[in-house]
Structure 1
Amino acid sequence: MNRKKMDKYAKYKLAYGFSLIELLVAVAIFAAMAAMAWGGLSSIVRTRADLVREQDDFRALMRAVALFDRDLRQAVVRSVRSNYGTATVPAFIGAADRMEFTRLGFANPQAELRSNLQRVLYQLDGDKLERGVYAVLDRAPGTQPQMTVLRDKVGAFRLRYLDAQQRWVAAWPEPNGNAADGTSAALPRAVEVHLETAGYGEITRVIELVSDWPTTDPGLPGAGS
């Protein structure tokens, strides 16, 4: 065999491709790299979803606190009739874990013939913080508040009220208050709120109420707005 034919055979020999074992090794390496890349991508997606969920939860908490703050700052001296009209409910009623009051600023975008005052209440029902609104100020026998859950998984909801003598009391009106001198109709000077929530611990707010409203109750319909 001459040298020319030997060079031709050598070229064909060098043109051989990968063996089956080499292909299997390459595929195995590619599969391992793809699995690691997928695991990292999946972890990023889960982390982002958890972050979005926590952000939404925090925004919901801040909205609840802001709503609470807004309602209290708009509290006014306006007592209401009870469900059967036999008694007058004070403008502001507060207990250790519940309060009910009349507030200003009930939006009326359609200019309906109704008051811009609204009766609201806050209470802890189990582990849920609820806000209730009454459709009318002076109630009929079947009038019930429409309740909305502001926050669940609430560990505690505690309230205190600051009176005119700068003392914190656990209930409003004070047990020794006298309706004749207007004590039962007056507003506290401030409300201290303690809210314990899962994931965020305890939130404490001291909300000052508007102090320049009239100190006497304008009364029921016919005596004021």
Structure 2
Amino acid sequence: MRARSGLAFIAIPRGSKLRGFTLLELLVALAIFAIMSLITYRGISMVIDTRSAVVSETQYWRELTLAFERLENDLSQVAPRPWRDERGALQPPLRSVSSLQVPVALEFIRFDANRAPLHGVYECRDQTLQLKLYPRPDLAAGDVPVPYVLLSNLSQCEFAFMDKSNQWLPGWNDATTRPRAIRVRLAVAQRAGSYERVFLIP
């Protein structure tokens, strides 16, 4: 008696034919795969681009907000204290200055958290808004301020000063009085419009 093998055989009906994919079917399958891959790639690329745009926009508004908050913090605490320059001459606690290198600058004395006087300068230069802080309120020969860039890529950076007649002036050098308010106007290159804030001076 013949032993049976453990292999199973499938009987193929007579007249039937085994066939694989035709060339046309393979081409259609490859085309569908390519289209799906392209859609997936574009979807991922759009997600990455959107995320980058959101991060860039968030950083832009954060820097702009922090710059205006710093301006408000400094200008709301202007100290009624004159200061001496390198030559020993008295200067007002708040004034505007300009030069060929720095067309627009705002110099001030303010109180810090410990009520100690702090000497700072806001400068519009090289398409940036910078804050420079001196080590002491009264300057000595060789004093070098520490610069901080608050905003960059600016197309407009202006200060204006309101006098007692509510008129806006481009500069302020009155040592006897302070301006009623200071207007700061900023515009960023490749962005529409400008941003303006008015700060009341105590």
**TM-score with structure 2 length normalisation?**
0.81
- Select the residue among 88, 91, 106 that pairs with 2:93: 91
The residue number in structure 2 matching 1:206 is 198
- Select the residue among 37, 41, 46 that pairs with 2:40: 37
Query: How far, CA to CA, are the matches of 2:118 and 2:14 in structure 1?
Result: 95
- Residue pair 2:82, 2:93 contacting (<8 A) in 1 also: yes
Please list, as runs of the form range in 1=range in 2, the aligned pairs for 1:5-24 lying within 5 A after superposition: 8-10=11-13, 13=16, 16=18, 18-19=20-21, 21=23, 22-24=25-27
SS at match of 1:122: strand
Count of aligned pairs: 186
SS at match of 1:10: coil
- Residue pair 1:78, 1:185 contacting (<8 A) in 2 also: no
- Residue pair 1:95, 1:170 contacting (<8 A) in 2 also: no
- Structure 1 unaligned residues grouped into runs of 5+: 1-7, 109-114, 175-183, 211-225
- Select the residue among 28, 37, 58 that pairs with 1:55: 58
- Structure 2 unaligned residues grouped into runs of 5+: 1-10, 99-103
Shift of 1:132: 0.7
The residue number in structure 2 matching 1:70 is 73
Which one has a larger percent helix, Structure 1 or Structure 2?
Answer: 1
The residue number in structure 2 matching 1:124 is 124
- Residue pair 2:124, 2:158 contacting (<8 A) in 1 also: no
2:193 equivalent to 1:195: no
Identity %: 29
Shift of 1:143: 0.8
Query: How far, CA to CA, are the matches of 2:116 and 2:15 in structure 1?
Result: 96
Distance change (3 Å), C-alpha of 1:27 and 1:94: same
**TM-score with structure 1 length normalisation?**
0.74
2:135 equivalent to 1:103: no
The residue number in structure 1 matching 2:155 is 155
Cα RMSD of the aligned pairs, angstroms, is: 2.4
Distance change (3 Å), C-alpha of 1:40 and 1:164: same
